[in-house]
Amino acid sequence: MENSVKRTGAVDNISVDAIMKRLCTENQTTGAPVIERHSMCLTEIALLLTAIIVFLAFPAGSCPAIEIEPKLRVQIDADETTGYTIHFAEKANLTRAPKTGWEEQRDFVTKTLQETANRSQARVRSFLFSRKVPFRSIWNENIIIVDRSDKDTFEGLAVFSEIETIRAKPETGTGQQPGCNPASKKDCSKMTGG
């Protein structure tokens, strides 16, 4: 019979075969049930360890809460169809912009900002689109401007970890939406849906 335990200093290396032989010979009459019982026990231990790892990786309350501007909360409570701006946590890494010419820098910055916005806003855009919420994506600031939505949609945004904060739409003092320049020849009423 081969030696099932090999001593190496303070550590014992036990082969799986040796463990299985020992389990089967401990109780000759119920060898299979012993193995099945130990197999179930190992499965339960594996599941328990998986659960512990998940809880350690994502402890309760570890998901950062989305900051909601207090002014917006008051507006939503007063009028459930209030608009707001959604600000995303991901920021574009512009440190690798080429040092060559202005056009190359502009193209790099534009492409990087658009890619960052498309990546970080994708799930939220899909959510808003599925609820038929009118919105505009502003890629250079990585925000979404929601013209109006119901309270359920607003509350539904809480599950999106990519959102950093939700704020009230900025007041421009002109009665026009952000991005609308009344001095330009554009018809600003088309931008606001009015």
SS (H, E, C) 4-63: CEEEECCEEEECHHHHHHHHHHHCHHHHHHHHHHHHHHHHHHHHHHHHHHHHHHCCCCCC
Residue found under tokens 């002109």: 174
Share of the chain above pLDDT 70, in %: 55
Q: What is the pTM of this model?
A: 0.57
CATH 3.30.70 occupies which residues in the chain? 67-170+188-192
A 10 A CB-CB count for 88 gives 20
Residue 77 is predicted with a pLDDT of: 87
Residue 117 is predicted with a pLDDT of: 96
CATH class of the domain at 67-170+188-192: alpha beta
Residue 66 DSSP label = P
pLDDT at 159 over 70: yes
* Structure token pair of residue 98: 């080429």
Across 100-114, 115-129, 154-168, 174-188, least confident range:
174-188
